[in-house]
Structure 1
């Protein structure tokens, strides 16, 4: 892609998200979401592959549906209340439509069906943008309107997302689909605690971005898109294989890695709010996710590729790709648990 075009599209992504962050007016927030959607569509279809074009089409139709629902709900709210202010969501029908539309935007269950299919058709860097940056603006709107939404609805969305995110990834062989279901499960963890402790939602989002970025950048460097491809990564880069296994365990939420921190704090908060059943279901759903992360670790570190290589084992091949972002995100995804109190104070 032409670098000027790429710079324009990435600037538009930043502009759309910033506009949504800075707005307290529904029309401006809607405009920011639309700029975001229109900027990422060319990035999705840049390879002119049928799967990429199909993914871009599915994404456009899904996001257009969600944007139309947001516009309709905000107009309904403005008609009843006389204003477009986000803080004045007194109409229950409008607020329910808003949360349904925003759930469709970020891929919360049961509006998650588009997410694995779209992510499967994209290259890894565009998939990284879709899994991280594209979640920011809708989540900011959900956080701003959370107090007007029925707590039972948010709890149901969170529980369903963690269960489906864990269940859906069990029998997958495509790494991008596994990361899509991982995204759905992590969104569930963020949503369920939103009404009680919004700072924990922000903390879970930050740690999710670090861990997912490390996973996607690792797959990009090793050119892996299927589970069986992971079996030959150790021969190319043994150090990267070891750190990737740890990143996957961090995504699963095992101590003493960073991914344990948000899950631990969220379960603690749910217990404080007298929701032991919800906390138990969330913890059991985390075990489902952990199972398919362990499958990936097993394929990467404990198995050999069934293919017989006709040449010498390619030890430590030099890569021409930038490895600084990978090193930074891997470090953050593995080592932040000891500074949990400082991070909690920072986001509170």
Structure 2
């Protein structure tokens, strides 16, 4: 009974800590919410031990997050003790860097794909979605717009280029997350609240992708070549293309919010469009390769799939149809 109850306790603290950060009016309660968020997620990383690297991933996550939290607390203490204009800009850069490290933003992103590789799909979904809320909300309160814009453009390019040579689906989604964070922080640096809409769409698309990979026990690209159910394969690849921003899917609607915000700055918009095209390229390459290469010509290997059931296929189909809403709107 205690074993079954413990995950729900961690989920309760994970949810309440994020709500604490969102509704806080003091910096101390924000920092406390960030710490509770870390401490509640680390036990969850080891609970469904589907992967052998869960312990290693939780240690890496704890070390990176604790170092970033220490920098945040250090800069906050110095900010309140020595309130000078020259020091405030430096402390603001320190706090922004620490929060970007928590988010896994380039060039502080090296830990993020490695931690993702050691987690189950459910925990990977939490790391890519829910764990982004508290640092993003905290970062939106105080940041250096020029510094954030530089990190955001770097993150968009690095995340897109790094995903080209990956074979693990978790690492592909991790680098895609790094690229999407670049889009959101660019919108934030232009003082726009539309990054929240982008974040919600990204949450929904990540949920569909991770749940579909979890249902069918997909971990590597090589497994997609041996997946026999063409209808389910089509839905999975449709969601991947939506993650890449293929028009007119739901992911392209999120990019349209970015176009509306960043249209005044052509160089920034060109960098983001170039990074988005790279991301869409490796998603499209995956889809074309898996549909055009026959099963007989593929490398022979033993791949274990979970048995497809009607509930899983129906849920995936319903979620995918919701992702097709922009197509229906455009046709209408």
Q: When the two structures are superposed, what TM-score results if normalisation uses the length of structure 1?
A: 0.86
Residue matched to 1:282:
272
Superposition map of 1:33-72 within 5 A:
33-46=34-47, 47=49, 50-72=52-74
Which of 214, 222, 234 is the equivalent residue of 1:220?
214
Residue matched to 1:92:
89
Greater shift, 33-42 or 165-174, is seen at: 33-42
Question: Could you tell me whether the CA contact under 8 Å between 1:250 and 1:259 is conserved in 2?
Answer: yes
For the residues of structure 2 that align with 1:78 and 1:130, how far apart are their CA atoms? 32
How far the C-alpha of 1:201 sits from its partner, in A, is 0.7
State yes or no: 1:113 paired with 2:110. yes
Superposition map of 1:103-252 within 5 A:
103-145=100-142, 149-233=143-227, 235=228, 237-252=229-244
Distance 1:320 1:104, change over 3 A: farther
How far the C-alpha of 1:337 sits from its partner, in A, is 6.3
Distance 1:80 1:334, change over 3 A: farther
Greater shift, 179-188 or 207-216, is seen at: 207-216
Question: Could you tell me whether the CA contact under 8 Å between 1:207 and 1:259 is conserved in 2?
Answer: yes
2:323 partner SS: helix
Cα deviation, 1:36-57, whole Å, max 9, x if unaligned, reads 1111111212218541111111
How far the C-alpha of 1:277 sits from its partner, in A, is 0.8
Gaps of 5+ in 2: none
Residue matched to 2:249:
257
Gaps of 5+ in 1: 83-87, 341-348
Cα deviation, 1:16-43, whole Å, max 9, x if unaligned, reads 1111111121111111111111111112
Distance 1:338 1:78, change over 3 A: farther
How far the C-alpha of 1:14 sits from its partner, in A, is 0.4
State yes or no: 1:26 paired with 2:27. yes
Residue matched to 1:333:
323
**RMSD of aligned alpha carbons:** 2.7
Q: When the two structures are superposed, what TM-score results if normalisation uses the length of structure 2?
A: 0.90
How far the C-alpha of 1:248 sits from its partner, in A, is 1.0
How far the C-alpha of 1:2 sits from its partner, in A, is 2.1
Distance 1:175 1:304, change over 3 A: same
1:198 partner SS: coil
Greater shift, 211-220 or 287-296, is seen at: 287-296
How far the C-alpha of 1:81 sits from its partner, in A, is 4.0
For the residues of structure 1 that align with 2:179 and 2:33, how far apart are their CA atoms? 26
Task: Say how many residue pairs are matched.
Answer: 324
For the residues of structure 1 that align with 2:165 and 2:219, how far apart are their CA atoms? 15
Residue matched to 1:346:
none
How far the C-alpha of 1:256 sits from its partner, in A, is 1.0
Question: Could you tell me whether the CA contact under 8 Å between 1:214 and 1:333 is conserved in 2?
Answer: no
Greater shift, 151-160 or 172-181, is seen at: 151-160
How far the C-alpha of 1:339 sits from its partner, in A, is 6.2
